Amino acid sequence: KGKEIIETVPIDKIELGGVICYDYDFPYLAKAYGRKDADIVAVPSSDWRGIDPIHTKMAAFRSIEQGHSVLRSTRFGLSAAINPVGEFNAQMSSFDTNDRVMIANLPENRIFTIYSVIGDLFVYMCFAFILIYLVSRLNLVASRRPQ
């Protein structure tokens, strides 16, 4: 609840985590599970036509960032079993006409990702480079002005 510490549950040498619905759109929650070395994160959800399948694709992005599998069961949307490299091992939409039973295999262990270690550092370094470049260009232009 709220700002409580995120925990994982060990089951048969697999660290399991869980969040609900829209919460996994926020990178800090996935990052917290990355720090906890979660292998699989369950994300039950209830979507609607207007947001389907964006939330499921965002969960896939979080699995790539942190290198863990995501199992997302969804009422009124796209359910998916997503491996640590973002591939959908299985997917099924509640809007399709089928028996609504999805069976999937997910890797039991997480994989190492650079992003799980450095986070957004590369993005900040790019912004710093652009800022330094612009300041140096402005200084160059200012030094060439006739006095």
For the residues 42-70, what does the mean pLDDT come to?
89
Maximum CA extent, the chain: 80
Q: What is the DSSP string of 72-134?
A: E-EETSEEEEE-TTS-EEEEEETTS-S---------SS----HHHHHTTHHHHHHHHHHHHHH
pLDDT above 60: residue 16: yes
Residues 92-129: pLDDT tens digits? 988 887 777 889 999 989 999 888 888 889 999 999 99
Residue 1 confidence (pLDDT) above 70: no
Span 31-50, mean pLDDT? 89
User: At 145, which amino acid appears?
Assistant: R
| Amino acid 142: pLDDT | 76
Q: What is the pLDDT of residue 69?
A: 95
pLDDT of residue 147: 65
Tell me the pLDDT tens digit for each residue of 22-38: 888 888 888 888 888 89
